[in-house]
Structure 1
Amino acid sequence: MTEPDMSLASLDEQDRKKVQELMQKDARAERRLAGPWRWLTALLGAAMVLIYFYGAGVQALETQYHLGVYVLITFVMIFILYPAGSRLALFWMSLIAAGLLAVLASSYLVFDSPTAFYDQITLFRETWEYDGLAAAWANDFGDLRITLLLVVPLALVLVPLDLWLARRFPQAPTPSDVLMAIAIAVAVLYWISQFAALNYRAGAENQLDKLISIVGLLLSLEVCRRVLGWSITLIGIGMLCFGLFGPYLPELFAHRGFSVERLATALFITTNGVFGVMASVLATYVILFIFFGAFLQKSGAGRFFIDLPLALTGRSTGGPAKVAVMSSALFGSVSGSAIANTVSSGAFTIPMMKRAGFKPHVAGAIEPAASIGGMFLPPIMGAGGFLMAELTGTPYAQIMLLSVGPAMLYFLAVFFMVHFEAKKAGLVGIPGEEIPHWRPVLRQGWYYALPLVIITALMLMGRSPGNAAFWATLSCIAVSWVNRETRMGPRAIWGAIQLGARNTLVIGATVGVIGVIVGVISLTGMGLKFSDLIISMAGGNLLLALVLIAIASLVLGMGVPVTASYLIVAVLAVPALGEFGVAAIAAHMIVYWLSQDSNITPPVCVAAYAGAAIAGSDPWKTGWTAFRFAKMLYVMPLLFAYVPAILLDGTPFEIFSAFMSATLGTIAFGAFAMGFLRRRTLMHEWAILGAATFLLYWPTLVTDVAGLALVALVWWLQRDVRPGATAAAARTPETGGMG
């Protein structure tokens, strides 16, 4: 992760605002707190970092503290840092806060306890169901009427007070924000303190359990809405409605249905919902790697991650674009976010590409197309790799080993597409005198790569990912002291701690909604029904099933962060792929790769729009161009499905053959996708390259020889290339090229 303001410092004010607005589509803007509130959130963030570093490096935390502390600190910080939104949203939040206060007051002032209060609500609801609302209201429920009446004066105080304070002090939390932060803290602390008892009485929860669950679940949804907006929150609300109204749904989706209490307790106080797989993966792996990324950035490694690719490839054809590919691989392997990767390296590489002659929309597209490759490249792979390890029961070190080859093939594809694009446009590299030689750059900064080597080596040696992240983070501090200019003292370490803690909030906000979605799917058995639906629609055709899953992933990704999209589609679609004979790890890889397409595929493609803002190009055109450079995103899932050896499932010879064929196929695919080999391809040459690509990807000696022969044929057909002809062909539309 990186600091946006630092990454965008080289842009003018207008472009910087555009990029910041796009980054806020992934997450709403935080408040800029001051005074006690700033110190409170700083201390909470520091506590999170230190507690989880202690758990990873010294002594493991018990389950309730391991999950509960993360959810507690994350949710409280979000209520303090993120505003409710518009005046209308603030109005409704004030009403809800007034309702929570009324419930609390009446539980102790009107009733004997919260249990007695909830008993009265239960009795009222049962009377309503049997005798109707009028009869229930006419009965002796006077204490409940007092509770409702309490809401009125509390709302009359809170609503205008919140609205006035939000207008007068926009960078400070409102009273409603504070009340909700306290309420969610009480709910999570109750879960932590009653963890053993809740497990003991699972299925027979008491009234207080139910009341806490309902409040905690509603506030978990509000946490997500504040950070990520309505799109994913409405999906969570829709899943709750799906769980409630099962008997009234069409036959294909119908189920027996669940009561509000059953849903709330299953989704909040068990480890199948809010405190389920997403919270477990985030607390166990992801936040520690996010902390590591923050410390690595503060150590000064970011400059080295650009200087080395610049020295290695800057002089070659299309050099600046190749720098973007290589720097994106280095940044993306630790950033955990495609848009953060695009902004971090793109603020430097996109202007450099434009100066080298790349059209603005091409420069703005190459960076995000390369940046999403960081989601596939170890050691971090966003959060998806850790989720995959949790869902499949596969050690993360093995996930890393399986992922390296496909990730390198992705970058190879983008690299060659960039090369052919530059050749087609007649572009050259950066003049040699403007960039240093790679040897002095490597000699002066090689040690910045040590944390990446350490974290990878420790995991391959069998250490847990969390423990590896702990030692690698400490190594970042040590590495920073090699260079006097980058030394991390107490102030820089504190800054890294705060950056790491803030960077966990966006993904942490999804915990509640993802818990709801996954929990409801599990409760209702919808996963099996979805699998049956895909199998029946595909008619036994694996390729058609992959197309259906790709469409589902793209549609879901329009409103859901990619990690969440992967988890949801994995729960629904992996069983279906299993029915087609696809191995579990291959099925998860397929879903994970396809889940990234919304980053670069219009109409959403926030990463591509960020590249467009930096490049000053048309966002729509940039998005489609990014899709063109990222086509490998759809090729690798096919290889996962049809060539098991690409995931090291086979004999050494089969694995070698698969990667040799894939490498040759990827180079041919670059020429095919760009419509260029020695010059622009004519229609028949382009068709021959397509056939060659298909043959080369299929891992047999016969198909490889046939594919190479077809590539050689196209190379021979284009033998008439003369000096200057490439650039002329690029300017002449009559050549019939398939760009």
Structure 2
Amino acid sequence: VEATASTGGQLMPPIMGAAAFVMVEITGASYLSIITAALLPALFYYLSIGAMVHFEAGRVNQQRSARASWPEMRRALVRLPPFLVPVAVLLFSMIYGYSPILAGFYAFLALVVVTTVRKETRLDLSGWIDALVFGAKNAALIAVACATAGLVVGVIEVLGVGLKFASAIFSVSNGVFFVTLLLVMIGSIILGMGLPTTAAYVIVAAIAAPPLVNFGMSPVAAHLFVLYYACLSAITPPVAIAAYAAAGIAGCDPIRAALHATKLGSAGFIIPFAFAYYPGLLLQGSWGDIAGAILVGTMVIFGLAIAIIGWFTRPMSLAWRAAFGLASLMMLYVTPWTTVVGVIAFGALITGVYLSRPKEGEAQKESVPVFEGTEK
């Protein structure tokens, strides 16, 4: 769960790591248009993780957390707002057209003010020195990764690998849009494996995004498509560096952690295909298109979560799981009649699950174990 959720942080506006700032420079689009387009797909990604975690908790009969822990949560939420000030400064600076460097500088100044005003977060001289050293080390790592990625991109341009990659995709896909998306997805995952997000994005933006733009996708949509799979390579076996890091903390098998992370993040592998066919997910088009995309997308997320985890108010049989999965895939298909049939099938399945639930008395009777020799 940790590896999957942390990977999605690179896809969630308004920050999106450093990749969004690089995307502004490469695509020429405004920062506001990029974070607006990325908002709904990122929310769907986390909605799918939340649904799968909830259904998995129900499947293993995990008890809810005690109310005694709620005061700690409230105290944490009370302490949170001041630290949102630098984020807000960074966001509005980028929206108003400042460069990423200048916006980051203003956000840093806001962070200094916030930490100085509050007594519990105020730093002394040694604290500031440690913070600056820590920041310089992290900046150096990012700079080296981006410089290396820049060299790779330069070699690619000189050798014409990007054009060869695009022509190879078109020849293999034979002009079929879905096959093109599938090949670009595979290429982006392979190119992004083992790299930091920004470096991975720089490489896939130079190699994998141009074929999609040439196919007619908007530059923002094409670059978000390849960014998703460059990020998801962090939880995709066999490399899965995020899953390996999480497994090191948890003390578990890294391959099993990667497989579970891939299962929990499975919707993330489908969302880019969805917004490639439904621009409403990128908040593009009419209000009707956007509302329809949100409604269908929500049902698809829950349908896939039920099919993958196998639980919804009660354990699901293989037939129920297959039915939910089929209905979700039908809603994803681009022809209107399959979408309508998928929506109707999903509604019928949800209704069937609720109508077929055992009554409260029967459920309680079944849950009480009966031992030999026990009096009735």
Aligned runs of 1:161-310 on 2, under 5 Å? none
Shift in CA distance, 713/573, structure 1 to aligned 2, threshold 3 Å: same
Describe the superposition over 1:433-484 as per-residue Cα deviations: whole angstroms up to 9, x where unpaired.
Answer: 1331755543454222222222223323333333322222122122223432
- d(CA) in 2 for partners of 1:512 and 1:704? 45
Aligned runs of 1:299-698 on 2, under 5 Å? 366-436=1-71, 441-697=76-332
Q: Which amino acid aligns with 2:357?
A: D
What secondary structure, in the 3-state scheme, does the structure 2 residue paired with 1:471 have?
helix
Describe the superposition over 1:479-503 as per-residue Cα deviations: whole angstroms up to 9, x where unpaired.
Answer: 2234322113333222222111110
| Counterpart contact for 1:658–1:699, Cα < 8 Å | no
Describe the superposition over 1:304-338 as per-residue Cα deviations: whole angstroms up to 9, x where unpaired.
Answer: xxxxxxxxxxxxxxxxxxxxxxxxxxxxxxxxxxx
| Counterpart contact for 1:678–1:721, Cα < 8 Å | no
TM-score when normalising by structure 2: 0.87
What secondary structure, in the 3-state scheme, does the structure 2 residue paired with 1:620 have?
helix
What secondary structure, in the 3-state scheme, does the structure 1 residue paired with 2:175 have?
coil
Greater Cα radius of gyration, structure 1 or 2: 1
Per-residue deviation at 1:705? Answer: 5.7
What secondary structure, in the 3-state scheme, does the structure 2 residue paired with 1:504 have?
helix
- d(CA) in 2 for partners of 1:666 and 1:633? 10
- d(CA) in 2 for partners of 1:562 and 1:716? 42
Match of 2:372 in 1: none
Shift in CA distance, 495/397, structure 1 to aligned 2, threshold 3 Å: farther
Shift in CA distance, 658/526, structure 1 to aligned 2, threshold 3 Å: same
- d(CA) in 1 for partners of 2:163 and 2:217? 16
TM-score when normalising by structure 1: 0.46
Aligned runs of 1:713-724 on 2, under 5 Å? 713-718=348-353, 719-721=356-358
Per-residue deviation at 1:431? Answer: 0.8
Structure scoring higher RCO (CA < 8 A, sep ≥ 6) equals 2
What secondary structure, in the 3-state scheme, does the structure 2 residue paired with 1:596 have?
helix
Match of 1:710 among 330, 345, 365: 345
- d(CA) in 2 for partners of 1:513 and 1:472? 27
| Counterpart contact for 2:194–2:241, Cα < 8 Å | no
| Counterpart contact for 1:678–1:715, Cα < 8 Å | no
Describe the superposition over 1:52-72 as per-residue Cα deviations: whole angstroms up to 9, x where unpaired.
Answer: xxxxxxxxxxxxxxxxxxxxx
- d(CA) in 1 for partners of 2:214 and 2:67? 56
CA RMSD of aligned residues (A): 2.7
Match of 1:188 in 2: none
Per-residue deviation at 1:371? Answer: 0.8
What secondary structure, in the 3-state scheme, does the structure 1 residue paired with 2:208 have?
helix
- d(CA) in 2 for partners of 1:416 and 1:398? 28
Shift in CA distance, 663/464, structure 1 to aligned 2, threshold 3 Å: farther
Per-residue deviation at 1:595? Answer: 0.7
Q: Which moved more, 1:432-441 or 1:599-608?
A: 432-441
Q: Which amino acid aligns with 1:693?
A: S
- d(CA) in 2 for partners of 1:387 and 1:405? 20
- d(CA) in 1 for partners of 2:252 and 2:158? 47
- d(CA) in 2 for partners of 1:545 and 1:669? 24
Identity of aligned residues (%): 34
- d(CA) in 2 for partners of 1:681 and 1:407? 28
Shift in CA distance, 680/406, structure 1 to aligned 2, threshold 3 Å: same
- d(CA) in 2 for partners of 1:403 and 1:503? 26
Q: Which amino acid aligns with 2:200?
A: S
Shift in CA distance, 468/566, structure 1 to aligned 2, threshold 3 Å: closer
Per-residue deviation at 1:508? Answer: 1.4
Shift in CA distance, 618/477, structure 1 to aligned 2, threshold 3 Å: same
- d(CA) in 2 for partners of 1:702 and 1:450? 47
Match of 1:214 in 2: none
Which blocks of at least 5 consecutive residues in structure 1 are unaligned?
Answer: 1-365, 730-739
- d(CA) in 1 for partners of 2:23 and 2:347? 41
Q: How many positions carry a matched residue from both structures?
A: 363
Describe the superposition over 1:78-111 as per-residue Cα deviations: whole angstroms up to 9, x where unpaired.
Answer: xxxxxxxxxxxxxxxxxxxxxxxxxxxxxxxxxx
Q: Which amino acid aligns with 2:346?
A: V
Q: Which amino acid aligns with 1:655?
A: I
| Counterpart contact for 2:192–2:229, Cα < 8 Å | no
What secondary structure, in the 3-state scheme, does the structure 1 residue paired with 2:233 have?
helix
| Counterpart contact for 2:243–2:257, Cα < 8 Å | yes
| Counterpart contact for 2:15–2:91, Cα < 8 Å | no
Q: Which amino acid aligns with 1:370?
A: A
Per-residue deviation at 1:590? Answer: 0.9
Match of 1:353 in 2: none
What secondary structure, in the 3-state scheme, does the structure 2 residue paired with 1:599 have?
coil
Q: Which amino acid aligns with 1:602?
A: P
- d(CA) in 2 for partners of 1:622 and 1:368? 9
What secondary structure, in the 3-state scheme, does the structure 2 residue paired with 1:603 have?
coil
Shift in CA distance, 519/713, structure 1 to aligned 2, threshold 3 Å: same
| Counterpart contact for 2:327–2:346, Cα < 8 Å | yes
Q: Which amino acid aligns with 1:410?
A: Y
Shift in CA distance, 614/441, structure 1 to aligned 2, threshold 3 Å: closer
Which blocks of at least 5 consecutive residues in structure 2 are unaligned?
Answer: 368-376
| Counterpart contact for 2:146–2:198, Cα < 8 Å | no
| Counterpart contact for 1:562–1:596, Cα < 8 Å | yes
Q: Which amino acid aligns with 1:601?
A: T
- d(CA) in 2 for partners of 1:515 and 1:604? 22
Q: Which amino acid aligns with 2:97?
A: G
- d(CA) in 2 for partners of 1:508 and 1:707? 47
- d(CA) in 2 for partners of 1:639 and 1:432? 39
Per-residue deviation at 1:677? Answer: 1.7
| Counterpart contact for 2:14–2:35, Cα < 8 Å | yes
Aligned runs of 1:47-66 on 2, under 5 Å? none
